[in-house]
Structure 1
Amino acid sequence: MPSPKLSRKTVLVSSVAGAFAVIGGGAVIAEAAARRGDEEEPAGDEAAAPTPDWVESQLAGMSLEDKVGQLFMVYVHGESADTGQSDAVASNMERLGAANGAAFIAAFKPGGIIYFDWSNGLSDPAQVAALSNGLQEASEIPLLIATDQEYGSVVRIGEPATQFPGAMPLGATRDTEAARRAAEAAGAELRAMGLNLNFAPDADVNVDPRNPVIGVRSFSSDPALVAEFTTAQAGGYQAGGVAVAAKHFPGHGDTGTDSHVGLPVITHSAEEWERIDAPPFTAAIAAGTDMVMSGHLQFPALDDSLKPATLSAPILTGLLRERLGFEGVVVTDSLEMEGVRAEFGDERVPVMALQAGVDLLLMPPDFQLAFEAVLAAVESGELTEERIDASVRRLLALKVARGIIAEPATDPAGTDVVGSDEHRQVAADIADRSITLLANDGTLPFAGGSVLVTGWGENTTARLTESLNAEGLQAEALVTGEEPSAEQVKAAVTAAAGRDLVIVTTFGAEAGGAQADLVAELLKTGVPVVHAAVGTPYDAAHVGAVNASLATYSYTAASLGALAKVVTGAVDPSGTLPVDVPGADGAVAFAFGHGLRYT
């Protein structure tokens, strides 16, 4: 008898060599529609809602291969489900063995698809909605369609979708109702484009100022504050129409290693985990989070085997399931990340993750290898079919609970909510209230005159300049970048001559680094210098004795517009630090809760 891998490839090659090679998958979409039946469904909720035993009846009718397919979420290339675009088809064939999303779904029946701007376009809400509907039409069981739309520093769908400030600016407002309102608006925009799952909010407590992967993605360094905002945002997204995933369990906030490129080690004791990392996840579970996403990190106090949390039964089953009582879906962080691949092969990771307690395997680097590895593990007895059933049952139940089974498609006419004036105003109001004035010798508010905007970020300096000019100033931009050269610093100093004010933006500035040197040279000109940290506020301790220092926590258009209004006094700064900002000597330079006002 041929191996499962060979027989599965035969199905796939047949699909591609037939209709998909010619028309890019349209035949499978039509076939899927035919399987559902051509009769018109009655209108109303009664007709759409699955019966209470739907999950069990669906599960009973699925083959093992169908069940294993449900355990995977992957990305596909193409701006449409049945794309025939040559580069997208080539990428899909190389990664998945199928020409497009529709072909892949027909062959493997995955549980979900994840979107990225680089794989799916995502610049036109109508295109995104059509893509979503096409993928759903190709699937016998409605799909989870997801993305990482945390806002702030992690955004997959840009303009014209509303760009809300991210987690840390929300923490600076101390307003959980604003956080809930923003998430509800964001959820409504995602659902209008056919997405039904957002891998947010970030429940990590950022206690390491040098954390290279979390930073402003965290609401705060205070566990209670993170817990409050995590639950507020989770409820808001759900009210807006999308499922949510609290991440990255058991906590990614105290590490100097990025799990995309290495395996972080969290050195907290079990007691520190209880006090620092656990509260946001405990609160999210109590509030009904749909998913919890695992982190690719070692946590020796929780599992002395040193397996990454994603592969750790003591962490995902013993701690998350049994101790915290989480009954929803456990999803991995991307399995393409080095943090989970550092010590185990790509064929072992998905099996080990399922053994640990995972339900949904996100983005394996070699899908067919992973799929066949899980099948082989069941056939060998390493995994039982009952174990597979448990995960599929949770995934199907989630799809029922969030209305995905009843209404998988979206109305393309509803995309006018994306980027609506009302939502943009919500974003602007939050940004206005998040700007934090850390230091000021009276230079701000600035009455008017000539301003040089320089420092990090070509788009950031350009947008800030535009916003300052809209507030009535005469501003010009000169970007110097992340590592200003001596020539760039000299050019900025020359450009500052004769100005009434210099605003210098930084992102990731360090004491003795090139960005700090830029600020030091500008201070020598005698022109008042205002520093704006547009990433984490930790930069403020490394730029010297500037005339004024502000934290925006974000370089979105809304946050830069708010910064301009604070500079001119059109808005009185009201944000307060959600973290301590340590100085070079280790002492606290600016304390949690610090924030100056004009009045």
Structure 2
Amino acid sequence: MIRANNSTTGLPMKKIIIHAASLLLVTIMASCGPGPEKLADRLIETMTMDEKIGQMLVAGVPGSAISPASAGIIHRYLPGGIIFYGYNIGDISGMSSFIQELQKESMAASGIPLFVSIDQEGGRVKRITDGATQFPGNMAMGVINDKGLTNRAARILGMELRLCGINMNLAPDIDVNNNPLNPVINTRSFGASVPVVVTLGRSYITGLQKSRCLAVAKHFPGHGDTHQDSHKTLPAIHYGRDRLDRVELAPFREAVRAGVACVMTAHIAYPTILGSDEPATLSPYFLTGVLRNEMKFNGIIISDDMEMHAISKKMGLDEAAVRTVLAGSDIILVSTSGSSVPLIVNGLKNAVREGVITEERINASVRRILAAKLRYGIMTTTGKEVLPGEVRYRDSWMKLLEKAGEINSELSRKAICFSGPGALPVSGTWNRYDRVAFISDSHVFLEMVRSVFGERVEVYRWKDHGKSFLNRGKTLVYCHVDRVDNGTSAALNVFKTRKEADMVVLSTGNPYPLLLMDERPPVLFSLSNTAESMGQMVRCLDGEFSPRKDYAGILGVQ
């Protein structure tokens, strides 16, 4: 591999100019000359098979700072990318330094910068909890159904990620959540409405990628209509191709038209279509036949985490890696850095050596990977050497970045929904009660309640709900739940049977367990558990604005 002359001296730092405590964004620099694919082909001619196979691997790394273990993974396996989880992140400054050191090691080892990926979907799926705007998740955006707001939020998030060193966001989730019993997608989806998911998926992708952060549309060909979690088992969707075309595949077609950089596979079986329990991740029919040939997708196909039980409980990861590449995947994602990585790498090497996978097939994937790194400014090349890329933003983009908090507040506020008979009891109606109580296990939420309502209310943790604090006059009880399980369901039933108490449930999690209750209590939904979403819920209860009630068409449940 042709390396930069100064590849072992570290990466040039991003030029982030601080002015009035803000980031000054300057113009994205675009390289001239041959296109990314031609430049990628020139680089491929100089690469060894070990370097090529390494580019097809995105792996986890240990710790939150550079160490012999994390550097060893880079030098031993030459991965094309890494994935960050919460345990890799202390604070945003430390994370940026860690990324810079990993990029330095990659330049020294393979001469090619890394994809640095993360699951920063918004709402309940986030790895960075401080240092990036905590936008609500997709379902909150879905009930609002404002493609402009969605686009701006994604664009802001993309800039924030790129400025701290992350260049690939494993988002958006464009599954159509048409099964209310889905345990793993639910609020991660834009909703149960196909047109809404299609429109907002496109808006999110174009916004994120305009910031030069790669979007990853997931989970192809659809994970929305399952009642099982592929992290734990292999779910199955028992519909035929006609239904899949009308529902599950529609958002992916639009994502491809929008120019999405990457598509992530689903560890889901489609026995009616395939005649077997083969997961889509291993299916040539879906990855090559449908995605490549029918949809004309020319970007990167990346597997979901191969250590999830839907795959790892069925076969060895070496076999799974070979099968997903033969099916059409370009990148194999593995969440850890232990024994799984050598299994995958050696499995691919052996398959090439034995002629099971051709070198031309490997080159096709590496071409897509290198072209994307060039196209998104992750690296540049003169044809003689590779240099780390440097993304710069125009001054005018500063104005949008400055509006991050404002846009987050608007999204979080507009997503608040109310379901129930009658009107939502807000603070202006509390004079009808002797006492008003809030129950929550969220310290953040209870502090917000105290700061707004002070001594007008009493606050309790859920462990206190069994105490006889209700036996002192007419009481209004707000019960905050982030996750409905057997314990919270039983507790809610206690309050429903108390004649001296009126109950309102405040839901910041999956709405469906509450929406599907036979005798549903009044519920205020935020569809997101970020601090901003909870804060807007409290403001709604103080009468600052009225919640929306037009959620049924988006969520698919009246």
Bin of the TM-score, shorter chain as denominator length: 0.7 to 0.9
Matched residue of 1:293: which SS? strand
Structure 2 residue aligned with 1:244, among 203, 215, 229? 215
Among 305, 309, 324, the alignment partner of 1:338 is: 309
Q: Does residue 469 in structure 1 map to residue 450 in structure 2?
A: yes
Q: For residues 499-556 of structure 1, what are the alpha-carbon distances to aligned partners after superposition, in whole Å with 9 as ceiling and x for unaligned?
A: 752111234537xx4323322322305232111222122213427353x321111111
Counterpart check, 1:388 vs 2:357? no
User: Would the aligned equivalents of 1:436 and 1:551 in 2 still touch at CA under 8 Å?
Assistant: yes
Confirm whether residue 426 of structure 1 aligns to residue 393 of structure 2.
Answer: no
The answer as to 2:199 corresponding to 1:234 is no
Matching residue within 110, 118, 143 for 1:147:
118
How many angstroms apart in 2 are the aligned matches of 1:302 and 1:205? Answer: 19
Whichever residue aligns with residue 104 of structure 2, its letter is E
With over 3 angstroms needed to count, the CA separation of the structure-2 counterparts of 1:581 and 1:188, relative to structure 1, is closer
Match of 2:71 in 1: 102
**Contact map agreement 1:454 1:503 (CA 8 A) in 2:** yes
Determine helix, strand or coil for the equivalent of 1:562: helix
Q: Partner of 1:124 in structure 2?
A: 91
Matched-pair contact (CA < 8 Å) for 2:137–2:187: yes
- Confirm or deny that 1:61 pairs with 2:83: no
Q: Write out per-residue CA displacement over residues 166-190 of structure 1, whole angstroms, 9 at most, x where no aligned residue.
A: 0001111121111111111111111
- Structure 2: distance between partners of 1:129 and 1:34: 17
Q: Aligned equivalents of 1:175 and 1:196: distance in 2?
A: 26
> TM-score, normalization: structure 1?
0.80
Structure 1 equivalent of residue 83 of structure 2: 114
Instruction: Specify the alignment match of 2:492 in structure 1.
Output: 519
Gaps of 5+ in 1: 1-27, 38-43, 84-98, 482-487, 583-589, 592-599
For the pair 1:572 / 2:556, whether they are aligned, the reply is: no
How many angstroms apart in 2 are the aligned matches of 1:421 and 1:255?
40
Q: Secondary structure of 2:318's match?
A: coil
Deviation at residue 104 of structure 1 after TM alignment:
2.4
Superposed counterparts of 1:532-543, under 5 Å: 532-538=506-512, 539-542=514-517
- What is the rounded CA distance, in whole Å, between the counterparts of 2:453 and 2:251 in structure 1? 43
The answer to whether the Cα contact below 8 Å between 1:201 and 1:245 also exists between their aligned partners in 2 is: yes
Q: Aligned residues, how many?
A: 515
Q: For residues 553 and 207 of structure 1, what CA distance do their matches in structure 2 show?
A: 16
The reply on whether 1:33 has 2:18 as its aligned counterpart is no
Question: Structure 2 counterpart of 1:258, which letter?
Answer: D
Cα distance 1:173–1:580, how it changes in 2: closer, same or farther (>3 A)?
closer
Are the aligned partners of 1:444 and 1:569 in contact in 2 as well (CA < 8 Å)?
no
Q: Which residue of 2 aligns with 1:503?
A: 478
Decide whether the 8 Å contact of 1:55 with 1:393 is kept in 2.
yes
State whether structure 2 residue 102 is matched by structure 1 residue 135. yes
Where do 5+ consecutive residues of structure 2 fail to align?
A: 13-26, 381-387
Counterpart residue type for residue 351 of structure 1: V
Q: What is the 5 A alignment of 1:202-241?
A: 202-241=173-212
More moved, 442-451 vs 203-212: 442-451
Distance apart, 1:45 and its partner CA: 8.1
Deviation at 1:161, TM superposition (A): 2.2
Partner residue of 1:75 out of 40, 56, 60: 60
For residue 479 of structure 1, what is the aligned residue in structure 2?
A: 461
Match of 2:240 in 1: 269
Q: 1:396 to 1:463 in 2, by over 3 A?
A: same
- Structure 1 range deviating more: 420-429 or 377-386: 420-429
Deviations 1:181-205 (A, max 9, x none): 1111111111111000000000100
Tell me the alpha carbon deviations over residues 484-505 of structure 1, each in whole angstroms, 9 at most, x when there is no partner: xxxx5422x5257457521112
CA distance in 2, matches of 1:326, 1:420: 31
Query: CA RMSD for the aligned pairs?
Result: 2.9
Amino acid at match of 2:461: V
Aligned partners of 1:29 and 1:386: how far apart in 2? Answer: 26
Structure 1: distance between partners of 2:85 and 2:171: 15
Deviations 1:205-228 (CA, angstroms, capped at 9, x unpaired):
011111111011111111111111
Q: Secondary structure at the match of 2:551?
A: coil
Does residue 170 (structure 1) correspond to residue 144 (structure 2)? The answer is: no
User: What letter is aligned with 1:137?
Assistant: K
Going from structure 1 to structure 2, the CA distance change for 1:366 and 1:150 (only over 3 Å counts) comes to same
2:374 to 393, 400, 405: 400
Contact 1:489–1:521 (CA<8 Å) still a contact in 2?
no
Give yes or no for the alignment of 1:184 onto 2:155.
yes
Q: Is the 1:123–1:160 contact (alpha carbons within 8 Å) kept by the matching residues of 2?
A: no
2:427 is equivalent to residue 446 of structure 1: yes
Partner Cα distance (1:182, 1:250) in 2: 25
Residues 318 and 344, structure 2, Cα contact 8 Å, conserved in 1: yes
1:295, distance to aligned residue in structure 2 (A): 0.5
TM-score (norm 2): 0.86
The Cα offsets for residues 547-594 of structure 1, whole Å up to 9 and x where unpaired, read as x32111111111111111111210121363165778xxxxxxx52xxx
SS of the counterpart of 2:480?
strand
Structure 1 position 550 matched with structure 2 position 524: yes
Change (3 A) 1:381 1:35: farther
The structural deviation recorded for 1:236 is 1.2
Cα separation, partners in 2 of 1:148 and 1:545, compared to 1, 3 Å: closer
Out of 357, 365, 380, which is 2:328 matched to? Answer: 357
Specify the code of the residue in structure 1 equivalent to 2:321: P
Kindly provide the amino acid, as one letter, of the partner of residue 501 in structure 1.
L
Question: Which has the larger displacement, 500-509 or 258-267?
Answer: 500-509
> Match for 1:273: what amino acid?
L
The residue that corresponds to 1:279 in the other structure is: 250
Is 1:375 aligned with 2:342? no
Question: Aligned letter for 2:76?
Answer: A
Partner of 1:529: 503
Quote the Cα distance in structure 2 between the aligned partners of 1:466 and 1:444.
Answer: 20
Could you list the per-position Cα deviations for residues 365-403 of structure 1 after superposition, in whole angstroms to 9, with x for gaps in the alignment?
611111011001001001101100000000011111111
Aligned equivalents of 1:33 and 1:353: distance in 2? 34
| SS of equivalent to 1:327 | coil
Aligned-partner Cα distance in 1 for 2:55–2:426: 57
Q: Contact 2:169–2:216 at 8 Å: present in 1 too? A: yes
| Alpha-carbon shift at residue 32 of structure 1 (Å) | 3.6
Structure 1: how far apart are the matches of 2:51 and 2:9? 19
In 2, Cα distance between equivalents of 1:408 and 1:475 = 55
Q: How far is the alpha carbon of 1:351 from its aligned partner? A: 0.4
CA 1:30–1:369 in 2, change beyond 3 Å: closer, same or farther?
A: farther
- Matches of 1:109 and 1:422 in 2, distance apart? 39
1:468 aligned partner, one-letter code: V
Q: Match for 1:158 among 109, 129, 132?
A: 129
CA spacing shift, 1:366–1:466, aligned 2, 3 Å: same
Asked whether the 8 Å contact 1:496–1:527 carries over to 2, the reply is no
Alpha-carbon separation, structure 2, partners of 1:359 and 1:169: 32
The structure-2 alpha-carbon separation of the partners of 1:315 and 1:156, relative to structure 1 and needing over 3 Å to count, comes to same
Give the Cα separation in 1 of the matches to 2:228 and 2:189.
Answer: 16
Work out the CA distance in 2 between the residues paired with 1:262 and 1:551.
30
Deviation for aligned residue 1:133: 1.5
Q: 1:490 is matched with which residue: 466, 469, 473? A: 466
Which residue of structure 1 lines up, in the alignment, with residue 340 of structure 2? 366
Within-5 A mapping of 1:580-599:
591=558
Task: Assess, with a 3 A threshold, how the Cα gap between structure 1 residues 163 and 578 changes in structure 2: closer, same or farther.
Answer: farther
8 Å Cα contact 1:245-1:290 kept in structure 2: yes
> Residue 173 of structure 1 contacts residue 575 of structure 1 at CA under 8 Å; is this kept in 2?
no
Query: How far does residue 339 in structure 1 lie from its aligned partner after superposition?
Result: 0.6
